[in-house]
Amino acid sequence: MTASLILVINCGSSSIKCSLFDHEQDHEILSALGERIGSTEATLKWTHDGKKHTVDLGQADHQQALGKVIEAMQSVGIKPQQLLAAGHRVVHGGEAFSASVAITPEVLATIDQLANLAPLHNPANAQGIRALQALFPDLPQVAVFDTAFHQSLPAAAYTYALPYHFYSELGVRRYGFHGTSHRYVSAEAVKRLDLDPDDHRIITAHLGNGCSACAVKNGQSLDTTMGLTPLEGLVMGTRCGDIDPSLHEFLARRLDLSLQDVTAILNKESGLLGISGLSNDMRTLVQAADDGHVQANLALEVFCYRLAKSVAGLAVATGGIDALVFTGGIGENAAGVRERVVTQLHWLGLNLDVTANLSHGRDQMGLVSTTHEPAVMVIPTREEWMIAQDTLTLSQTQWDQ
């Protein structure tokens, strides 16, 4: 039996998301989502061949949930021996990782240490790695970092104007996130537009619940909007993005809040939700704005203005724009958001094709502008597939010697 399956795992503190790819067929053959792990009501939803299944997990931990994913695979005739390797999404690679790596004990120890930069994410990611190692000690595993693509940022882009020892001693700098998505959609734009791999300038906007934009020149990230944490930059579903750093003290003093209280507000009660007072969901806001909801419309205006301003700012890093690429749930589906953003960037030569934009460029390979140069594109992100690709490449070079 040839092993051709790659298991992609994205492990959160109370969730686990898995995608199974067959590299010989280049598509996802099974997906699974475990939720409320660690509580008494954990569930696993999985899909194979268009059929959806739900399994009650009771009080499962990550390892037990992964065990159930393997059982789900077996129940549809997929054998564990068919697994070639597993790839894990790891949020923070700090300055230690500028590309995906094969997981060794040293790599895992470094991921553990980087928990000081991503205390909510890296421990959960490491837990997923250990859980799979316990189930399959000999299966090659790969780590793919959200931050790695942005390790090419020059010091001028990643340095905060703070006392320098905060960087040298504590690692306080801009790291950026969503790297796998920015890397995938920018490379895809190069292919679709037939741009020179060594001479192109692309701005990518990943707009999901979290949002970030990135300046990509000749395949390298030169600047991005997220920083030390994913709170910096664009307006997001519930995160505020850029604010005056004095706000922490102002709110703490005026409302008698702790630093942690303010941080929680900025992360969970701000952004689209905070401005609209209605929802963090773009679909709800678009509908409400159409129905005359003033704050929903304001939330959209702030979201789009800030994004347009960031795109123009990122063009300083690239020295111009050959293509602006939208991706993520909002970027791929919200035609009105794209229209508001591109209209504000008309002076940069960006012109939307209104009809193509309404159909998300589906019949034009994602092209939604009237011109190719510069182009505006909608490219659905494929982070899991990208993780599978890196895993395949590393498993062939690292372990097959």
Cα distances (Å, whole numbers) of residue 103 to 113, 137, 335: 15, 12, 40
How far is Cα of residue 266 from the mean position of the Cα atoms in its chain? Answer: 19
Residues 6+ positions from 297 with CB-CB distance below 8 Å: 288, 289
Pick the catalytic residue: 26, 61, 138, 146?
Answer: 146
Does the annotation place 17 within a ligand binding site? Answer: yes
Say how many C-beta atoms besides its own lie within 10 A of residue 179's C-beta.
Answer: 27
Does the annotation place 233 within a ligand binding site? Answer: no
Q: Output the smallest distance, CB 209 to ligand ADP, in A.
A: 4
User: Is residue 241 at the binding interface for ligand ADP, with CB under 6 A as the rule?
Assistant: no
Does the annotation place 281 within a ligand binding site? Answer: yes
Q: Which of 271, 214, 213 is nearest to 240 (CA)?
A: 271
User: Is residue 64 at the binding interface for ligand ADP, with CB under 6 A as the rule?
Assistant: no
- Known catalytic residue at 146: yes
Q: Output the smallest distance, CB 259 to ligand ADP, in A.
A: 26
Angle between helices 62-75 and 122-135 (to 10 degrees): 50
Q: 5 vs 236, which CB is nearer to ligand ADP?
A: 236
Q: Which of 331, 10, 306 is nearest to 185 (CA)?
A: 331
| Contact (Cβ atoms closer than 8 angstroms) between residue 6 and residue 388 | yes
User: Is residue 73 at the binding interface for ligand ADP, with CB under 6 A as the rule?
Assistant: no
Q: Which of 87, 233, 274, 328 binds ligand ADP (CB under 6 A)?
A: 328
User: Is residue 379 at the binding interface for ligand ADP, with CB under 6 A as the rule?
Assistant: no
Q: Which of 188, 182, 230 is nearest to 203 (CA)?
A: 182
Q: Which of 286, 307, 311, 377 binds ligand ADP (CB under 6 A)?
A: 286
The amino acid that residue 375 corresponds to is A
> What number of CA atoms fall less than 13 Å from residue 307's CA on the CB side?
33
User: Is residue 12 at the binding interface for ligand ADP, with CB under 6 A as the rule?
Assistant: no
Q: 297 vs 395, which CB is nearer to ligand ADP?
A: 297
Does the annotation place 333 within a ligand binding site? Answer: yes
Q: Which of 63, 209, 267, 396 binds ligand ADP (CB under 6 A)?
A: 209
Please give the residue whose beta carbon sits closest to ligand ADP in the complex: 329
Instruction: Take residue 117 and report the two structure tokens written for it.
Output: 């930069």
Measured distance CA(36)–CA(43) in Å, rounded: 7
Q: 178 vs 192, which CB is nearer to ligand ADP?
A: 178
Measured distance CA(28)–CA(385) in Å, rounded: 8
User: Is residue 361 at the binding interface for ligand ADP, with CB under 6 A as the rule?
Assistant: no
User: Is residue 230 at the binding interface for ligand ADP, with CB under 6 A as the rule?
Assistant: no
User: Is residue 367 at the binding interface for ligand ADP, with CB under 6 A as the rule?
Assistant: no
User: Is residue 334 at the binding interface for ligand ADP, with CB under 6 A as the rule?
Assistant: yes
Sheet strands (E) in 247-347: 323-327
- Catalytic positions are 146
Query: Which residues participate in the annotated binding site for Mg(2+)?
Result: 10, 383
Residues that bind ligand ADP (CB under 6 A): 208-210, 237, 281-283, 286, 328-330, 333-334
